[in-house]
Structure 1
């Protein structure tokens, strides 16, 4: 595989599992040094092991993206180790607790917004300042098909992901002439631990989700990762402010 990101540095939040892990490994395969940031460290350190197996370098930093100090610590450690920041995949997020709007608790609302939306804003706030000084960089935020359409029973999650898309577009406009591009990916139903929690691994419920996918199956984390890689690459040099569905045709139906 061509090392298109040789000597470049990427931060991946929510990098211990699922889409984050797949993207961290995809960056490493292209030659990037990868900083894995997550509030839960995978005890087996599978992300780091897969990065090393791909011939890459990286390290883990514990980070709660709702805490500004944690985010600045991640970026400081990235600069201490590698001296630069080229890419960021702001992926950390939670689904929250399912409930209709009138039954959504304030605690659930505030926690979901804090991680999914405020966390993305805080990450960009600190990432952008470094990238603008460099005159070059690419950020991809993880939104969702739930940022493009509504879903009953997930008011906080849907609101947070719509907010991520709006924030992405705003930052893209602000940095369009400064050498920095900002985009978002909007995954559909991807085979991750989050989907396992939502479905309870119930085969009937899983099939209901599959039936909503025109392509007829769940997506894989690696398929989202490849979209992130493309958006960060020079091949996407004229793409900014875009919310890219990676959804098997869900929102086209």
Structure 2
């Protein structure tokens, strides 16, 4: 389906990012995998390369403008093109009631999850404008739709990602460039399994709020991301697809 195309996936050493990179590779695309953890990224790239096609690994701190721009140039130097960009990198940040947050805690999450997404989107959009086409998918969160306690900076950032997605989609809709987002619910990844496994208060609470009574698999989120990026979603832009097992509609 995607043979000859090139996809960038940030935050791709594990979880949803890694699953997305695998699906792009499986469908025939060349994949640029970006992350701050090069050791973890090298291991992840080996998994992706098993699906065939070329894989490029890039060290990229999305909060640093130069690293974002240098990373994009590496992709163009290696593959000569970029067709799809998935801005998935981010952090959960500090869990603390709003009034107890420090400036530094708030700024750290905003700088990575919101400003970092802005920096990557801006660089990608400039390129896509220059070639006359492109597709971007941003990773937001269910937290942008249904607020969770003690996650103020994260929810603010991920809500901002949806706002930027809508704005950019309208700005470039007549330029053959689409911009969409996904808002995953609780997803079982290497980062979350220590909390979700076994009997514990937080895990039990999370499960109780999901009508389907299970967590999402990274691959289930990734399949939607690749669909939105691809030409199969050619008339879809400015949308946020909530993938949450029904959580935003109410618990059962």
TM-score range, shorter chain: over 0.9
Q: For 1:177, what is the secondary structure of its paired residue?
A: helix
TM-score (ref. length: structure 1): 0.95
2:151 corresponds to 1:131: no
The residue aligned with 2:86 is: 89
CA RMSD of aligned residues (A): 1.3
How many Å separate the matches in 2 of 1:57 and 1:147? 35
2:156 corresponds to 1:159: yes
Shift of 1:195: 2.1
Aligned residues: 249
Which contiguous aligned blocks of 4+ residues in structure 1 show a shift greater than 6 angstroms?
none
TM-score (ref. length: structure 2): 0.95
The residue aligned with 2:234 is: 237
Shift of 1:57: 1.2
How many Å separate the matches in 2 of 1:127 and 1:213? 35
Shift of 1:200: 7.2
Q: Are the structure 2 counterparts of residues 44 and 162 from structure 1 closer, same or farther at C-alpha, using a change threshold of 3 Å? A: closer
2:20 corresponds to 1:15: no
Q: Are the structure 2 counterparts of residues 44 and 160 from structure 1 closer, same or farther at C-alpha, using a change threshold of 3 Å? A: closer
How many Å separate the matches in 1 of 2:76 and 2:168? 22
How many Å separate the matches in 2 of 1:170 and 1:149? 21
Gaps of 5+ in 1: none
The residue aligned with 1:107 is: 104
Determine if contact 2:35/2:41 at 8 Å carries over to the other structure.
Answer: no
2:176 corresponds to 1:179: yes
The residue aligned with 1:192 is: 189
CA deviations over 1:95-131 (Å, ceiling 9, x no partner): 0010010011111100100000001000010000111
The residue aligned with 2:203 is: 206
Q: Are the structure 2 counterparts of residues 44 and 139 from structure 1 closer, same or farther at C-alpha, using a change threshold of 3 Å? A: closer
